[in-house]
């Protein structure tokens, strides 16, 4: 590999900077190796699998390479509803998480005083419990005997027999909750970085509080908003645990389809092509989003 070269053949005297220049590459080496073994290699493998077809033998899990790119089209046509639903749910969860996180992050950054660190720990606290357990706990919270249903019934907002588990509502709630810290923390970080003198300068230049918020605070927190929405939307779009635990058969997301194709039906080519399609779709949306938000230089 180029990284290991000592010096190009032409140079005879070794300059002292030479070794210094190699340091960044050496530092990157463990990461690159990790990516090569655990990301690039499986990705190539997955790409290869995605164009295979089932072998004529009756053995399960036997596939032969036929370069059948139509796998992609077939898989997409069959599961377009789940694709669309995944992006819808992920979008709704992102919007909800943003609506909850921005005021929260704002309060922590500007109004919390000496409670700042405690509040930040509370934001991260859910991570001390496993993702799976937290999602199962939501099943309890939203369950027929749970507090949410009780309050809604008492207020006559839902009928006595209505339940809210096993619904798309529950799935979106679960997604919102589970990815909330990923939204809150980057927004907090960018709000906290704002120099208070910029807010004073805005007031000095005839802005009232609301105008200062719109013209200074919000634009300067955009890098955090963009990072937060991406960190929420991307994993939410590929998530399958929330839909599996809090949903019903009609709320299946694309992650659930990939999961069942891989591990239950053992249809590797379809699962692989769905995975690639999901990756491409997310990449496309992310690029469009970053372009449109105009923060590519800030991210």
- The interface with other proteins within residues 271-290 (CB under 8 A) comprises none
Closest by CA to 175, choosing from 106, 95, 118, 107, is 95
CB of 114 to other proteins, least distance (A): 16
Looking at residues 63 to 82 of the shown chain, list those that interact with other proteins (rule: CB under 8 A).
Answer: none
Nearer CB in complex with other proteins: 17/204: 204
Q: Quick check: 230 and 286 in contact, CB under 8 A? A: yes
Residue 59 vs 204, nearer CB to other proteins: 204
Q: Which tokens hold the place of 78? A: 């069959």
Three-state DSSP state, 52: strand
- Nearer to other proteins by Cβ, of 154 and 208: the residue is 208
Number of residues that bind other proteins (CB under 8 A): 18
In degrees, rounded to 5, the angle at the alpha carbon of residue 35 between the alpha carbons of residues 30 and 39 is 160
Residue partners of 276: CB distance under 8 A and separation at least 6: 46, 47, 50, 72
CB of 107 to other proteins, least distance (A): 22
C-beta of 66 vs 207, nearer to other proteins: 207
* 293 scored as a contact of other proteins (CB under 8 A): no
Contacts to other proteins from residues 25-64, by CB under 8 A: none
Q: Rounded to the nearest whole angstrom, what is the least distance from the CB of residue 115 to other proteins in the complex?
A: 20
Closer Cβ to other proteins, 157 or 210, answer by number = 210
Nearer to other proteins, 81 or 296 (CB): 296
Kindly list the distances between the CA atom of residue 107 and the CA atoms of 104, 121, 130, 178, 204, in Å, as whole numbers in the listed order.
5, 14, 27, 21, 23
Of 18 and 215, the one with the shorter C-beta distance to other proteins is 215
Cα separation, 90 vs 10, in Å, equals 56
If residue 281 lies in a helix (H) or strand (E), which one and from where to where?
Answer: helix 268-293
For the chain, the 3-state helix, strand and coil shares in percent, each to the nearest 5, are 75, 0, 25
Minimum distance of other proteins from residue 198's CB (angstroms): 5
Q: Tell me the CA distances in angstroms from 4 to 1, 8, 22, 123, one per residue in order.
A: 6, 11, 9, 44
What is the x/- site pattern for other proteins, positions 189-228, by CB under 8 A? ------x-xx-xxxxxxxxx--x---xx--xx-x------
Q: Which residue has the tokens 């605070």?
A: 217
* Direct distance between the N- and C-terminal alpha carbons of the chain, in angstroms, rounded to an integer: 31
Distance CA(186)–CA(98), nearest Å, equals 11
Shortest distance, CB of residue 225 to other proteins, whole angstroms?
13
Q: How far is the CB of 227 from other proteins (least distance, A)?
A: 16
Smallest gap from residue 297 Cβ to other proteins (A): 9
Contacts (CB under 8 A) with other proteins, residues 139-198? 195, 197-198
Helix (H) or strand (E) holding 54: strand 52-54
Nearer to other proteins, 4 or 210 (CB): 210
The minimum distance between CB 111 and other proteins, in angstroms, equals: 18
- Binding footprint of other proteins on the chain (CB under 8 A): 195, 197-198, 200-208, 211, 215-216, 219-220, 222
């Amino acid at each position: 590999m180029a990284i290991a070269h000592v010096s190009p053949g032409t140079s005879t005297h070794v300059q002292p900077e030479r070794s210094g220049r190699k340091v960044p590459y050496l530092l990157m080496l463990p990461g690159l190796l990790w990516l090569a073994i655990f990301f690039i290699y499986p990705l190539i493998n997955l790409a290869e699998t995605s164009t295979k077809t089932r072998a004529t033998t009756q053995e399960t899990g036997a596939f032969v390479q036929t370069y059948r790119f139509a796998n992609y089209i077939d898989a997409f046509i069959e599961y377009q509803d789940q694709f669309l639903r995944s992006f819808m749910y992920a979008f709704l969860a992102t919007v909800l998480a943003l609506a909850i996180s921005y005021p929260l992050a704002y309060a922590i950054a500007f109004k919390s005083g000496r409670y700042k660190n405690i509040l930040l720990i509370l934001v991260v606290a859910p991570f001390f419990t496993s993702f799976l357990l937290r999602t199962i706990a939501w099943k309890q919270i939203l369950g027929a005997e749970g507090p949410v249903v009780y309050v809604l019934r008492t207020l006559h907002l839902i009928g006595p027999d209505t339940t809210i588990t096993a619904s798309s509502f529950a799935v979106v709630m679960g997604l919102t909750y589970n990815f909330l810290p990923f939204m809150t923390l980057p927004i907090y970080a960018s709000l906290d970085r704002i120099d208070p003198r910029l807010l004073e300068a805005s007031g000095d230049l005839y802005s009232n509080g609301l105008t200062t918020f719109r013209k200074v605070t919000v634009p300067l927190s955009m890098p955090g908003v963009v990072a937060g929405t991406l960190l929420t939307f991307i994993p939410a779009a590929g998530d399958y645990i929330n839909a599996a635990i809090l949903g019903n058969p009609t709320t299946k997301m694309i992650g659930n389809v990939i999961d069942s194709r891989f591990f239950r039906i053992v249809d590797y080519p379809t699962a692989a092509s769905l995975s690639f399609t999901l990756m491409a779709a997310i990449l496309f949306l992310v690029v469009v989003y970053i372009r449109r938000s105009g923060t590519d230089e800030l991210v």
